[in-house]
Amino acid sequence: MPVFFSDEELAVVEAACARLIPTDEDPGATEAGVAHYIDGFLGAFSFDPPRIWAGGAFSGRFGGSAGFASFHHLTPLDELAWRTRIEGSAGRPEREWNGPVVGLQERYREGLQLLGDDFTAVDGEEQDRRLRDHATFTRLLYEHACEGMYGAPEYGGNRDLVGWSYIGFDGDVQPRGYTDEEVSGP
């Protein structure tokens, strides 16, 4: 269940991300859950604590306890910054110390409009054409898609570590680290 997007919006985000990071012989954005990563980021304040910064020091994947899963609490200033960045200033004076801010939620809603309600129904070539035509939004979407594909899975993407697996990246290796031989050898 998405926390920010409607089901229809989520379907468009998913289809668009599948064009950006396609599925081939290896899993792509769809299998990694990239659209859910983006939904979780835009809906970060649906969680307590908000899902902005995963905890530390370890994920548990290479030993230690699974600290990544406990997100950091935010201070009032942190919350102000991230709500403003995500939700926009929305006319609230306390968020407009340097004037109005257009939030990520609004940029996504506008961007998805540009891609069109029928985006999931048109063929891949047409989807690519629309993504190229709306390059500003696509750049934003792609940046977040990269985070969702290759970031820590605690943020909602990179499911089953598919993003790291196909490129041979171990991800967070603390507290094991690498041996001196692994560092210095070919």
Partner 1 sequence: MTRDFDAIIVGSGPGGSTAADVLTAAGWSVVVFEKGRNHLIDLDDPRRLAEDFSNDEIKFMFRHFLGPDPLLEPRTFRRHDGEGDRIRIGQVNNVPSTVGGGGTHADGKTPRFREEDFRVLSEWGPVEGAAVADWPIAYGDLEPAYAEAERLIGVAGDAGANPFAAWRSGPYPMPPGAPMYGALVSSAAAAEMGWHPYPAPTAVNSVPYDDRPACNNCGFCAFFGCPIHAKGDPVASLRRALMSGRAELRPETFVSRILVSNGRATGVEYIDASGTTREERAGHVVLAAGGLETPRLLLLSGFDHPLIGRNVMFHFQTYVLGKLPMRVHPHKGRSVTHVHDDHLVPDDESLTAARAAGLPWFKGGMVEHAGPAHPIVEARFSPWGATHKDTMRRSEMREHLWGFCMQGEDLPQPTNRVDLDPSVRDVRGFPSLRVTYRPHRHEEAASAHYGAKLQACLKLAGAEWSLVHTSPGPVDPVPISRHVAGTVRMGTDPETSVCDEWGRLHDVPNVVVADSSPFPTGAGYGPTLTLVALAIRNIGKLAGTRGAAD
Q: Does 153 bind partner 1 (CB under 8 A)?
A: no
Least distance from C-beta 144 to partner 1, angstroms? 9
Per-residue b or e along 135-157, where b marks 16 or more CB atoms closer than 10 Å to that residue's CB? eebbebbbebbbbbbbbbbbbbb
Evaluated on CA atoms 11, 12, 13, 17, the torsion sign reads: positive
Stretch that binds partner 1, among 7-15, 105-113, 114-122, 177-185 (CB under 8 A): 177-185
Strand partners, 97: 99
Residue closest to 85 by CA, chosen among 56, 69, 105, 68: 105
- What is the biggest distance separating any 2 CA atoms in the chain, rounded to whole angstroms? 57
Q: Which stretch binds partner 1 (CB under 8 A): 2-10, 111-119, 164-172?
A: 164-172
Interatomic CA distance for residues 70 and 92, integer angstroms: 30
How far apart are CB 21 and partner 1 at their closest, in Å?
5
Q: Rule CB under 8 A: is residue 104 a binding residue for partner 1?
A: no
Q: Does residue 26 bind partner 1 (CB under 8 A)? A: yes
Residues in contact with partner 1 by CB under 8 A are 19-22, 24, 26, 28, 52-59, 67-68, 72, 75-78, 80-81, 84-85, 97-98, 101, 128, 131, 138, 142-143, 145-147, 149-152, 155, 163-164, 166-180, 182-186
